[in-house]
Amino acid sequence: KEHGLTPEDWLSLFSTTLHETGIAIDNYADGKNTAAYLTGSYNSAADSVPSGCWARVSGQARLARDDPAISDPDGGVRVAVG
């Protein structure tokens, strides 16, 4: 069964991938990747969904909160199977 990632899932995937391959996933500023919407933690009360990406300019992983009603071409969804 597929399910959306939570911020904790994404941070684990990000750090493991970076450590094992040297590649920062969801590097939206490179023109090839997107920020990941973390739909496993959708907050209906705030009508927001967390997102995660690599902020190349600051050299940091970034977690944010976004309005799911706003279409963003630099956003995508990561899912897990479990």
Matching residue, tokens 């069964």: 1
The per-residue pLDDT for 25 is 92
- Residue-wise pLDDT for 41-68, tens only, equals 988 888 889 999 998 888 899 998 888 7
DSSP 3-state assignment of 13?
helix
The per-residue pLDDT for 54 is 92
Contact (CB, 8 A) for 5 and 45: no
Residue 17 CA to residue 12 CA, distance in Å, equals 8
| Average pLDDT over every residue of 31-48 | 85
Full-model pTM: 0.81
Burial of 51 (0-12, 13-18, 19+ CB in 10 A): buried
| Average pLDDT over every residue of 11-29 | 92
Strand partners, 37: 51, 77
